[in-house]
Structure 1
Amino acid sequence: MSVIAQKTYQSFSEFYAAYLTEHSDRTSRQLHFLGSSLALIFLTILVLTGNAWWLLAAIVSFYGLAWIGHFKFEQNRPRSFKQPFYSFIGSWLMYWQMLTGQISF
């Protein structure tokens, strides 16, 4: 596993360019996409039922599957540990770009 210190980025565009380099493994990207999709489904169920347990399911699926992708397939440390806000936004931008075919699965 890579133990290289992670740089703190001053802009999202600078961060996102580096973020994408840490998502080069296809299985990792697929796990990110699946986790994000499940999170959206679980948040929808939360809104429809009012049951707060669906929020926990959304968080666990979103981060859990992404972290499995990083630790098992990318062999790196998730950026969400160092810059959680940029990482969260980057995850959704990457999700959108995969959904629209700008980034391959």
Structure 2
Amino acid sequence: MLLLPETLTLREARDTLRLLKVALEQEGDTDVIVDASALERFDSSALAVLLECRRLAQAWGKRFAMRSLPHQLAELARVYGITELLPAAETPAA
């Protein structure tokens, strides 16, 4: 599972993407789940980072999903028409 930082704005986007790419390359699972539960401050750059992670995961034959996407970021994705590109990870049955 890949973890997003507390802040992901244009200022942090390049470094965050670099770190996520390294983690993605080391991820052994065929499912890549990005956990956004720590994300508190963000702008549309966060969507760009997530879309690039998705693209990389798919290029390496992995499935991509999101966990705990903040409501405001999900709403921003809806406004941009990319909601389906950031699918929610399935919650394991209890």
TM-score norm. by structure 1 comes to 0.29
User: Which structure is higher in RCO with an 8 Å CA cutoff and minimum separation 6?
Assistant: 1
